[in-house]
Amino acid sequence: MHIPDGYLSPSTCAVLYAGAGVGWYGAMRRVKRVLNTRMIPLISVFAAFSFLLMMFNLPLPGGTTGHALGVAISSIVLGPSGSILAISIALAIQALFFGDGGITTLGANCFNMATIGSLVAYAAYRLISNGAAIGSRRRVVAGAVAGYLAVNAAAFLAAVEFGIQPTFFHDSQGAPLYAPYPLHIAIPAMMIGHLAVAGIAEAVITAGLIAYLQSADSALLQRTAGMVPGSSTSELRTPQRPFRRLWLGVALLLLLTPLGILAAGTAWGEWHASEFSSEHGRNQIANASGQQPPAAAPEGLQRLSTIWTAPLPAYAPQYVKSRSLGYLLSAMFGVGLLLTFSWIVQTYVQRWARGRTV
């Protein structure tokens, strides 16, 4: 679901950057009203959780892979604004440092997964759980449905963005310039795996975490339950309990990240340009898409695919021979970046708050 550079035309990327920008602007305005030194690490912990969760590849039909997003539990705990920021930060780190998703398509990926995923998850959860007690099973079910719908909504948008490229962007002979998969291929290829596997994984993870928080720290669920006075900003208020257990959960997930490479295969629509001209790559693309790919990567895809070279492509540092160790070190590096970013922002907010009180 991480659309790489070259699969979307520049104009498509610009439109989706604008859509993501609207989400970022609205989220920042809402979060700014309640931003404090306890809100920042809460956004950071869910950004780290999402970053790590997306490193766990799941086998999908057709020999491809997919993953859960962590967007539903982020929306349920942080509210949609906090979730948009947390998921976007995770996606930006993946694109910039690991080449997981493109730079030109970062807006598209944030729009699909962070903005629309967060809004769908939040709306579904609030609708289904309306009036239910914090500890009720209905909230667990609501979280599961929210997770399932959010992942599939994001996948459907990505499939449509892929599928319209051959129709609107082609050369004088009709050859696609960017993603070569029309809608009748892109939608089934993307949606079958997410409806059958990735969406279910997100549902199970979300339901399990809600059930855990109901007994471990229900305050984290009250902000989006519609039960707190002044609910217009309650979804972004911070809990009074420490985040130690949340970070311990992230640390455990980090240690398990080498399991994320057990599933073989490339996610659908994320093949490198060179794979269009190799026998092995062409076979993978054909098996996953049900159609033989072009003899070579489309012209625009080839050109844009080299616009950015990530320092740690595919979560595989070149100086580490063990793939599992390299994956673990990449996960540690990503989480370390998030912690550093959180510390810098938190320090700035503390100084700003002290300056206002002087």
3-state secondary structure of 212: helix
What DSSP letter does each residue of 336-354 carry, written as one string?
Answer: HHHHHHHHHHHHHHHHHHH
Q: CATH number of the domain at 174, please.
A: 1.10.1760.20
The two structure tokens encoding residue 186:
């892109």
pLDDT of 219 > 70? The answer is: yes
Q: Scanning the structure block, which residue is given the tokens 């956004």?
A: 43
Nearest to 345 by CA among 40, 29, 9: 40
The answer to whether residue 281 is domain-embedded is yes
Given this model, what pLDDT does residue 235 score? Answer: 43
The answer to whether residue 353 is domain-embedded is no
Provide the domain count of the chain: 1
Residue 60 CB neighbour total at 10 angstroms? 23
- Per mean pLDDT, which range of 105-109, 117-121, 220-224, 341-345 is the poorest? 220-224
Alpha-carbon Rg for the chain in angstroms: 20
The answer to whether residue 122 is domain-embedded is yes
Strand partners, 60: 64
pLDDT of 234 > 70? The answer is: no
pLDDT tens digits, one per residue of 294-338: 989 999 999 999 999 999 999 999 889 999 999 999 999 999 999
Average pLDDT over the chain, rounded to whole?
90
| 300 residue type, one letter | G
The answer to whether residue 46 is domain-embedded is yes
Q: Are strands 64-66 and 58-60 parallel, antiparallel or unpaired?
A: antiparallel
Q: Across residues 110-135, what is the average pLDDT? A: 96
Q: Is the pTM of this model over 0.75?
A: yes
- Per mean pLDDT, which range of 32-41, 121-130, 220-229, 249-258 is the poorest? 220-229
Distance CA 84, CA 25 (A): 10
Containing structural domain, residue 199: 10-250+268-312
Nearest to 5 by CA among 270, 186, 265: 270
The answer to whether residue 4 is domain-embedded is no
Which DSSP helix (H) or strand (E) runs through 66? Answer: strand 64-66
The answer to whether residue 243 is domain-embedded is yes
Contact 66, 264 (CB under 8 A): no
The answer to whether residue 306 is domain-embedded is yes
The answer to whether residue 85 is domain-embedded is yes
Given this model, what pLDDT does residue 230 score? Answer: 41
pLDDT of 35 > 90? The answer is: no
